[in-house]
């Protein structure tokens, strides 16, 4: 069965974007800077709000909200990938061709994906505490009082529950 994306004007989406051959390069300074510049350039032409972001060595997760009259997230990702690839130059292929998206359905779904995204560095074993990972909007939300500095670090029950909810969500999403 062919995968079909769901587009909703003004939608909020959770994305997973992976490097080509899962190369562990996204946290390298040059690649990170190129990605940042690409995102900024694309946002000027195709506005969107970044609600959350985590950069892992071989993938990223982000939550975006699109403008009310717009659902073109695929075009945004195409432009971001193309522009960041151009900025890096050379023979290094940065990205897998596709990406995974999930349309956020409600506040509970948003909260689950928001927490999952920020917990990802602990899930993958890069740090023991979320606050130790620099490449995340977690720190912004600590400053705003949304998260405590030591939120969920090493909480295995939280991790298992979140992974179960995410897996159930992905199964339902691909069956529809």
- Is it the case that residue 175 has pLDDT exceeding 80? no
Structural domain includes residue 75: yes
Structural domain includes residue 5: no
Q: Which pLDDT tens digit goes with each residue over 41-77?
A: 999 999 999 999 999 999 999 999 999 999 899 999 9
Structural domain includes residue 2: no
Which string of DSSP letters, residue by residue, matches the chain?
--------TT-EEEEEEEBGGG-S-TTSHHHHHHHHHHHHHHHHHS--EEEEEEE-SSEEEEEEE--TT---HHHHHHHHHHHHHHHH-TT---B-S--EEEE--SHHHHHHHHHHHHHHHHHTTS-SSGGG-SSBTHHHHHHTTSS-TTTTTT-HHHHHHHHHHHHHHHHHHHH-
Band of residue 39 on the pLDDT scale cut at 50, 70, 90: very high
Q: What is the value of pTM for the model shown? A: 0.85
Structural domain includes residue 68: yes
The number of domains in the chain is 1
CATH number (domain holding residue 78): 3.30.70.1290
- Is it the case that residue 161 has pLDDT exceeding 70? no
Structural domain includes residue 6: no
Structural domain includes residue 92: yes
Tell me the mean pLDDT in the region 130-135.
95
Q: pLDDT value at position 90?
A: 79
Structural domain includes residue 157: yes
Host domain of residue 123: 12-175
Mean of all residue pLDDT scores within the chain = 87
């Amino acid at each position: 069965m062919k995968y079909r994306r769901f587009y909703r004007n003004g939608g909020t989406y959770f994305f997973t974007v992976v490097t080509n051959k899962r190369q562990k390069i996204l946290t390298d300074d040059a690649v990170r800077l190129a990605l940042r510049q690409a995102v900024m350039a694309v946002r000027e032409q195709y506005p969107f709000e970044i609600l959350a972001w985590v950069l892992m060595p071989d993938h990223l997760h982000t939550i975006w909200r699109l403008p009310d009259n717009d659902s073109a997230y695929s075009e945004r990702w195409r432009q971001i990938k193309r522009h960041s690839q151009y900025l890096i130059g050379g023979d290094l292929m940065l990205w897998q061709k596709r990406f995974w998206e999930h349309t956020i359905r409600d506040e509970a779904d948003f909260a689950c994906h928001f927490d999952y995204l920020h917990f990802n560095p602990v899930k993958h074993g890069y740090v023991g505490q979320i606050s130790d990972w620099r490449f995340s909007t977690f720190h912004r939300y600590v400053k705003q009082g949304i998260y405590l500095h030591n939120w969920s670090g090493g909480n295995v029950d939280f991790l298992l529950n979140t992974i179960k909810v995410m897996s159930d969500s992905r199964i339902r999403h691909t069956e529809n």
